[in-house]
Amino acid sequence: MKEIREILEERESKFLHPKAAKSFATRGRNKKEDPCPIRTEFQRDRDRIIHSKAFRRLKHKTQVFIQPEGDHFRTRLTHTLEVSQIARTIARALFLNEDLTEAISLGHDLGHTPFGHQGEYALNDLMKEWGGFTHPQQGLRVVEIIEKDGAGLNLTFEVREGIQKHSKGFGKIICQRNLASTLEGQIVRVSDIISYVNHDLDDALRAKIINPEDIPSELTKYFGSTSSKRISFMVNDVIESTKSQSYEHISISAETERKLEKLRDFLKHSVYYSPQVVSESEKARHVIEFLFKYFTEKYLEIPFYEKIKAVVKDYAPHRAACDYISGMTDRYALLMFEEKFIPRAWTMF
């Protein structure tokens, strides 16, 4: 009798597009494991990510607004879930591997810092001497080393590559630089952009940093006036453009790409660099800088230092400090700052 996993693998072979990644043809894990009788390899990876400590910490990491008033602003976790929803929709419509797409989506920001991109910029400056810092590369460290105190999650190559190559900064929306080898990994890359430009716009309107009339009219006319209309338009464009290119890579039409870059630039200048965001971001940068200096000197206080040092050759203090701080939630980073640098009153009895 066939195992459930084998039946699922047969379905992949029968129903998915020829260019879809197949779980039975994975390039494997760093450490070989016996197959699961129920789940495919990519389903196992998805489950490992969801059950990881790094995934749970995303709920208290900033997306754009640091400790906002109100319960409806996005966090790094809700951003991750929205990316997953968009990416799965695209993968399903293109008959690509939805399980692989979901696993990469859920893991794509595991390496993100507290305090959003300002935390990332701060750590990049502090780590310049040693090659800098990016959250995709740190995400790879999380799943390969940091989780389980040096053991890592032992994910498949396709998921690890998708995490590492999901972002390319503020360059062109669609570019061939550092592109994932799977179409599923490429889907996550474009879905990340679709997600954040829409929910960051939504959150900025909610926070009254911008008003609806501030959005360039050409973008409202092109994409629509609501978040759901904009997302639907972009998702449909990716699906149709990829089909028209015969699945050469995950694509987007030239006009939509141009308009999407304009929308992203509008957010960059009107929201990300707004006085409200920048003033709090500068405070966050100081917290990161103080903590980095402290834990580089007092690296033995890092909870996982000895365990990872036993696994990683030449685990330098600055690298350990970076690993520790990048994994912190916003509130834990502030707690550590208060504990290490703010004098405490004490009472004599």
- pLDDT (tens digit, 9 = 90+) per residue, 138-165? 999 999 999 999 999 999 999 999 999 9
DSSP code per residue over 295-335:
HHHSGGGSTTHHHHHTTSTT--HHHHHHHHHHH--HHHHHH
Asked whether the whole model's pTM tops 0.75, one would answer yes
The residues spanned by each domain of the chain are 41-338
Superfamily of domain 41-338: Hypothetical protein af1432 (1.10.3210.10)
| For helices 157-164 and 98-107, angle between their N-to-C axes, nearest 10 degrees | 50
- What averages of pLDDT result for each successive group of 10 residues across the chain (349 residues)? 96 98 98 97 98 97 76 92 98 98 98 94 97 97 96 98 84 72 97 96 93 96 96 98 97 96 95 85 93 98 96 95 98 96 76
- The dihedral of CA 79, 41, 7, 250: what is its sign? positive
Closest C-alpha to 198, from 156, 260, 125, 126: 260
Provide the b/e sequence for 213-227 (b: ≥16 CB within 10 Å).
Answer: eebeeebbebbeeee
